[in-house]
Amino acid sequence: MSVVEKQHSAEAMALEARYGAQNYHPLPVVLSRGEGVFVWDVEGRRYYDFLSAYSAVNQGHCHPRIVEALTAQAQKLTLTSRAFYNDQLGRYEKYLCEYFGFDKVLPMNTGAEAVETAIKLARKWGYEKKGIPAGKAKIIVCQNNFHGRTISIISASNDPVATENFGPFTPGMVSIRYNDLEALEAAMDEHVAAFLVEPIQGEAGVYVPDDNYLEQAHKICKAHNVLLIADEVQTGIARTGRLLASCGNCSCPKGQCSGTPQVKPDVLILGKAISGGVFPVSAVLARKEIMEVIRPGNHGSTFGGNPLACAVAMAALDVVRDEDLAQRARKLGEKFRAQIAEIIAETHWVRLVRGKGLLNAIVIDDTEDSSTAWEICMALKENGLLAKPTHGNIIRFAPPLVMTEAELEECVGIIRKTLLEFKKP
C-alpha cells in the first residue's frame, strides 16, 4: 500500500494547504475512489456524487468502457504532437463531426483552451470573411458568465474575484445582460464578430433563459452577420436532457436529443464530459467556411488531438449514445425537480428549484454572503451526498447521468432529511 493510500483525510488536506496554491475552497472530504454515481473517501466512507466534477463525469466515475479505451491506447501510443500524423486523430475528427453534425473540428485539451480557440477563430473570421477593420473586432458576452479563467476570458467577466489585480485585460469584449434580446440587438454593430453564450449559465447558479432566447439570439446574429458561439463545456454531452442544450441538429444519433429543437450554433465549444472525466479533452466545431481561416502556425497545442485523448473521447461518446444518457437525464431531471418542489413546501430554507435535465440548483433563502448554503452542503456530506455551493446561496445538483431511478429516490430522501433537520449553527 502506498503512502498516499495510508493517509487520513486530515493529512491529505494538510499537504495541499502546505504545498499547493490556495485557488480552491473544497469541501473537507478527501476522495480516493469512484465508481458510477459513488465516490469513497480515504477512510472508506461512501458518498453520492452530486457535482460530477462540474459535469465532466456524466458517464459516471471510471466507466469500464472508457477506462478500457484509455488502457488499450496507452499501451500503444500516447503522444506524437501534431508534427506528425497519428492513426487516431483523423478517425476521431470524422467521428466527432458526424456525431455533432459539423464540418470541421479543432481539437484541444481543456475547456478554457477551447474558449480561447473559439475567440481566436471568431476574430480571424471577422477580419478575413466579414471584413472588420484590423484590430476592431468585438466579441459580445453575457454578464455573470463563466467561460474559464485565462486573461482573455476573464476580460469578459464581471466577477471581481476572477478579475481583481489581474489586469490589464484583453480589449474587444462587450458585456450585456443574459437572456436580454434587446440588449443583444443594441450591442450589434459592424465590428461585432461573435456572440459567445452559455445555453444555461451553470456556474452562475443554473440560470435557464427563456425558451426562445437562443433561437431569437441566433436570428439577431444572422441579421448582422455575427457568429453564434455556444459554450457547451458544462451543458453539453447529454447533461440537460438532450445531446446539446442549444443544438437543434437533426443529424444527431438516434436517441440523443429530446424536446423541441432550438438552434444549431455557428461554433460549438465542448469539453468536460466529452471524455467522461477520464482525460483532458476539448474541441471547437464549426462549418468549413469558418474553420478554414485557421492555417498552419495560427493555432495549436502539443497535446491537442493526441492519440490517447482521441481514443478516450470516442469511447466516452459511444457510452452516451449506447446508454441513452440524454433521455435518462431528461426523465430523471423532471422527477428530481418535481420532488424537490414538494420538499420546498416543507422547509423554509429553500426558495426555489430550477434547471434542465440533471443540471439543477436550489436557491437557499439567505443572502449571498451568508454561510447557510455551505453549512447545508456540510450536512449533506454527513448524510452521504456531496454537493457544493455557488455564488453564496445556491447549491448545484448535477449527479452522473448513469444514476438509476432508485438511486435518485434515495438521494432525494437524503436531501429531504437534511433540509428538514437542518438548524443553522
Nearest to 230 by CA among 240, 242, 244: 244
User: Does the annotation count 322 as an active-site position?
Assistant: no
User: Does the annotation count 146 as an active-site position?
Assistant: yes
Beta bridge partner(s), residue 173: 139
Instruction: Record the cell numbers describing residue 328, joined without a space.
Output: 435518462
Q: How many CA atoms lie within 13 A of 165 on its CB side?
A: 1
Q: Which residues contact 30 (CB under 8 A, 6 or more apart)?
A: 7, 9, 12, 13, 41, 42
Pair 305, 107: CB distance under 8 Å: yes
End-to-end CA distance of the chain: 39
As a whole number of angstroms, the distance between CA 379 and CA 295 comes to: 53
Q: Which residues contact 19 (CB under 8 A, 6 or more apart)?
A: none
Q: Out of 138, 264, 272, 356, pick the active-site residue.
A: 272
Q: Out of 102, 146, 279, 397, pick the active-site residue.
A: 146
As a whole number of angstroms, the distance between CA 52 and CA 419 comes to: 22
Q: How many CB atoms lie within 10 A of CB 78?
A: 15
Q: How many CB atoms lie within 10 A of CB 255?
A: 15
User: Does the annotation count 272 as an active-site position?
Assistant: yes
Burial of 285 (0-12, 13-18, 19+ CB in 10 A): buried
Q: Which residues contact 324 (CB under 8 A, 6 or more apart)?
A: 255
Pair 93, 107: CB distance under 8 Å: yes
Q: Out of 231, 279, 356, 381, pick the active-site residue.
A: 231
Active site residues: 146, 231, 272
